[in-house]
Amino acid sequence: MFYDVAVVGAGVFGAWTAYKLRQAGASVLLLDAYGPGNSRASSGGESRMIRMGYGPDEIYSRMAQRSLVLWQELFGERYRLFVKTGILWLAHERDPYCEATVATLGRLDMNHEKLDRDEIARRYPQLALGAVTWGIIEPDSGVLLARRAVQAVGAEARAIGVEYREAAIALVDGAIRTTSGDEIGADRFVFACGPWLPKLFPELLGERIYVTRQEVLFLGVPPGDERFNAGVMPCWIDFNDLVYALPNIEGRGFKIAIDAHGPEFDPDTGQRMVTESGLAAAREYLAVRVPSLAGAPITETRVCQYENTSNGDFLIDRHPGFENVWLVGGGSGHGFKHGPAVGEYVAQMLLASGTPEPRFSLATKERVQERKVF
């Protein structure tokens, strides 16, 4: 069968792109080597935060706001995959990023409250504040249950006519084929394959997309202790120490991760066992910020990967050598929440009904990594 668009990659960007294209009337094939929400995917895992704050980057605040609306519309009453925990930003006395976040949230009239140190301590006594002197709470933000959310998007896409096929892709003599040899026929192709993008396009993206190993830990909370549950403790972000944490949701435990980029990683062959150094770093931080959990048992671990561009901006642009090929990626670390807005934007670009965003262009992606978007 021949399609208007073939989307390679059923992660959050690819699934939403297929869904929005089909809503616009296109015939769409969606392919994935391992399946939506699989354990190798950057879109896998149980939970991802959705926040509005992005420092001075108003573009991402607006996209997050739009995405939350689209997530909730998709979920409706069928899926209960958003947990409104609130997002707490922990700021130091001189904190340009948080100061810019307050200004942006105010300018966009997004619901937030600035808290002084005493108010944070009163509301959230679980946290030892240390150098924290103030904060921001986004009460309407929270957590998307990631793996199931991606699968829900895929299911809704199929329900409205997207064809799904589980198959790996290879580029052979200018043709796009599955590894079993079947040629994929389509007018246009969207490659939204996350950490596999530089593997498929090594000459173009091998030095522009950085795939790094990231460790996530879940800790068991004390029995009968509700202080760390969703509804009592919010998600919180401490970008001064590059750490974020999520409360206990569905009994999985308190989740913590260090947001600094890890070593280079291969999504197909990389071993997904956490390191002793990663465990030690997390416990060292907990001893300072959440002392009552410093010795808590590890109940679950996960190794996934980020795939970021040089500065953290998304890559959404045509392949320079193929007019009908689009590249969509560079979202790991902050992109999951934006899946709906990205899918909407890509659909508009393919259907010539949108305005290109210069920050998403390939031309802005450097070969030296200097993270600017958090």
Region for 330 from its dihedrals, namely left if φ exceeds 0, alpha if ψ lies in -120 to 50, beta otherwise = left
pLDDT confidence of residue 362: 97
CB count, 10 Å around CB of 317? 18
Residue-wise pLDDT tens for the chain (374 aa)? 999 999 999 999 999 999 999 999 999 999 999 999 999 999 999 999 999 999 999 999 999 999 999 999 999 999 999 999 999 999 999 999 999 999 999 999 999 999 999 999 999 999 999 999 999 999 999 999 999 999 999 999 999 999 999 999 988 777 899 988 899 999 999 999 999 999 999 999 999 999 999 999 999 999 999 999 999 999 999 999 999 999 999 999 999 999 999 999 999 999 999 999 999 999 999 999 999 999 999 999 999 999 999 999 999 999 999 999 999 999 988 999 999 999 999 999 999 888 999 999 999 998 888 888 88
pLDDT confidence of residue 367: 85
pLDDT confidence of residue 372: 84
- Indicate whether this model's pTM tops 0.95: yes
- What is the spatial distance between Cα 79 and Cα 66, in angstroms, rounded to a whole number? 19
- What is the spatial distance between Cα 116 and Cα 135, in angstroms, rounded to a whole number? 6
Crossing angle for the helix pair 12-23 and 339-350, to the nearest 10 degrees: 50
The sign one gets for the Cα dihedral 126, 130, 135, 141 is negative
CATH of domain 2-45+146-208+311-364: 3.50.50.60
pLDDT confidence of residue 63: 98
Structure tokens at 203: 């000459």
Structural domain boundaries in the chain? 2-45+146-208+311-364, 85-141+210-306
- What is the spatial distance between Cα 249 and Cα 42, in angstroms, rounded to a whole number? 20
Q: Which helix (H) or strand (E) holds 148?
A: helix 146-159
pLDDT confidence of residue 108: 98
Structure tokens at 26: 């296109």
pLDDT confidence of residue 172: 76
- What is the spatial distance between Cα 139 and Cα 248, in angstroms, rounded to a whole number? 17
Q: For residue 256, give Cα distances in angstroms to 45, 228, 252.
A: 13, 12, 12
**Four-way CATH pick for 85-141+210-306: 3.30.9.10, 3.40.640.10, 1.10.1200.10, 2.40.50.140:** 3.30.9.10
CB 330 within 8 A of CB 308: yes
CB 324 within 8 A of CB 189: yes
Q: In a 10 Å sphere around its CB, with 0-12 CB exposed, 13-18 middle and 19+ buried, how is residue 73 labelled?
A: exposed
pLDDT confidence of residue 368: 83
Exposure string for 216-228, b = 16+ CB within 10 A, e = fewer: bbbbbbeeeeebb
pLDDT confidence of residue 370: 81
Please indicate whether the domains covering 2-45+146-208+311-364 and 85-141+210-306 agree at the CATH topology level. no
CB 316 within 8 A of CB 355: no
Crossing angle for the helix pair 96-107 and 58-75, to the nearest 10 degrees: 60
- What is the spatial distance between Cα 26 and Cα 281, in angstroms, rounded to a whole number? 48
- What is the spatial distance between Cα 312 and Cα 48, in angstroms, rounded to a whole number? 17
CB 322 within 8 A of CB 201: no
CB 274 within 8 A of CB 215: yes
